[in-house]
A and B are shown apart, each in its own frame.
Chain A
């Protein structure tokens, strides 16, 4: 059997998916209770794909997740605590209240913080990979995660082309989740499948059922293996459906019943639970216990974040440069 599908790893992947889903649900509650500043953006329906990215990466790799990658972030090493700290604006989190919600990361650890401009992270991953090559590192990869909407940007075009020219070990993962905010894919691209774009750039392509955890794990493992072995950039298209609005402010009324009822509309978490029970002989009781343990950890993290308080604007360092002597007065 493919080692990525051994029992321990699939369980691990499932538990990160579960935590991402339960974390999302708590974030939605906190949002409705007015405990979150700004918006809340959930990854419901994308956890199988997302977690697979985190599962196939190593410490020396680079990961640029996007808005719906709570599961991938956890699998890459982020704690639920750091996620909550950023969403709730704790001064102890990696962004210290300076940036929020999905805009978080620890760049020095290869975990890149997204900006809101779509497609803009891909070339940043490219540069990190170019640097690693110049430094003589070996067998590293970088994953950039985007959605179908970002494939329409100039930044996407420039960056995938750049990666192809430089033969970089980039795995570019597109969650083809059928909508960019409310815009359906028919208004986003006119090719039959997004994987057709690969040939134009001279990169390899993979297409996967984004609702299947085992398929996503296999495909992500294959794509990253190829990139690690020097086969150049890999474009992965995962077909799935966003099972929520763009953010919690959006009721997603525009998602058609036909799509919801189609195969892309399946809930990857439920499918993973079915697979765990049927193929890995995990009992219902175990699933229940895992859920309880996860809820407990999330609740403890929320309590801790609430104790950490808020950043103090009057004792904040309002300096935008490291070179303090070059900062303008503010």
Chain B
């Protein structure tokens, strides 16, 4: 028996609904239909009145989650595509993210953002917005890369008393599989060494983890060993784990699917340069998507985002300098 990344998200929600009467799910088509990606399939039936269809009103969906959280509930808001969350950005960054700071009132809401590119997704169904949300104080931003993390991090996110942006990657939904659901997990805020290696640290997260691991396997055949760090949460950033890895390898490449300007890669490099400059044997580098909207045609898309081949080229660049 195996479980996919998407099934892990569904099972995590079923577990939460089962064990915590404060939890409910609100989003477009999440009820009887089971969600655009079927992340809530059968849940409306199993938990009557707690898996609620929403109108196409991201602002009101997220605003209402803040109000429900004030009343002690723990809403999970499914945004149909991460791209549409910008319609409700105001409620996230000005209501949810400021509530505790302003009033000492907890705001335990979880926004599930189906993120990232898939073939044919195009400009408005492919975005990675974790860097935008990480910019604002008052939010935790999760970017699980594995089936196990999709499950355990979602449960921990909903259990947390703070607002969480849960960026789940659509590319991983169906083809990423694990043997079973995890029994235990690293806590939120801790990065993981996904692969140990001595030659270069590659810091990454979400779907890019698998491109980086593929690159690492290919380069291993040439005798180059990459150490791959899976950030798991981009906010907070586990700077200690990153710096410790750079201390071992002396070199750093950051790989992310989001756009290059600012963002997670820039933040990681900034911290490593500021806190671990003397550990570096070469200038740190980054690889991001191209600085254009995300293209529709699979051939264009395949070079728009980083992939194993372009990551290997970027690593070679770091190793050469």
Contact = CB atoms under 8 A, between A and B. Distances in A.
A321 B140 contact: yes
A320 B64 contact: no
Contact of B103 (A105, A159, A327): A105
A105 B66 CA distance: 15
A103 B100 CA distance: 14
B84 to A, nearest CB: 13
20 contacts: A94-B103, A95-B103, A106-B103, A117-B90, A120-B63, A122-B60, A123-B64, A123-B67, A126-B60, A126-B63, A127-B63, A127-B65, A130-B64, A158-B58, A161-B57, A162-B54, A162-B55, A320-B100, A322-B100, A326-B162
A98 interface: yes
Interface in B110-161: 137-138, 140, 160-161
B68 A130 contact: yes
Nearest to A62: B67
B27 to A, nearest CB: 13
Contacts of A134: 24, 49-50, 68, 73
The contact size tier of chain B is 35 or more
Contact of A127 (B66, B98, B236): B66
Given A120-B95, A124-B63, A326-B160, 13 more contacts: A123-B67, A123-B91, A126-B60, A127-B69, A131-B70, A135-B72, A155-B63, A158-B57, A159-B63, A161-B60, A162-B54, A321-B100, A327-B236
A323 interface: yes
Q: Which 6 residue pairs of A and B lie closest in terms of their CB atoms, listed nearest first?
A: A127-B67, A123-B63, A127-B64, A131-B71, A158-B57, A158-B60
Contacts, number: 141
Interface in A290-325: 320-323, 325
Contacts of B67: 62, 112, 123-131
Contacts of B103: 94-95, 105-107, 113
Interface string B69-96: 1111101000000000000001100110
B63 A99 contact: no
Interface in A126-142: 126-132, 134-135
A122 B63 contact: yes
A132 B22 CA distance: 11
Interface of B: 24, 49-50, 54-55, 57-73, 75, 90-91, 94-95, 97-103, 105-106, 137-138, 140, 160-162, 188-189, 233, 235-237
Nearest to A164: B55
Interface in A164-214: 165
Given A115-B94, A130-B64, A158-B59, A322 B106 contact: yes
Interface of A: 62, 94-95, 98-99, 103, 105-108, 112-113, 115, 117, 120-132, 134-135, 154-155, 158-159, 161-162, 165, 320-323, 325-328
Contacts of A108: 70, 105
Given A123-B67, A322-B161, A322-B162, A131 B72 contact: yes
A132 B188 contact: no
B180 to A, nearest CB: 28
A113 B100 CA distance: 11
Contacts of B55: 158, 161-162, 165
A123 B100 contact: no
B188 A326 contact: yes
A128 B70 contact: yes
Contacts of B99: 107
B140 A326 contact: yes
B48 to A, nearest CB: 12
A151 B58 CA distance: 18
A117 B162 contact: no
Contacts of A107: 70, 99, 103, 105
Nearest to B58: A158
A124 B189 contact: no
Nearest to A327: B236
A135 B71 contact: yes
A62 B57 CA distance: 22
Contacts of B162: 321-323, 326
B95 A115 contact: yes
> Which of B57, B64, B66, B188 is the most central at the interface, judged by chain A CB atoms within 10 Å of its CB?
B64
Nearest to B71: A131
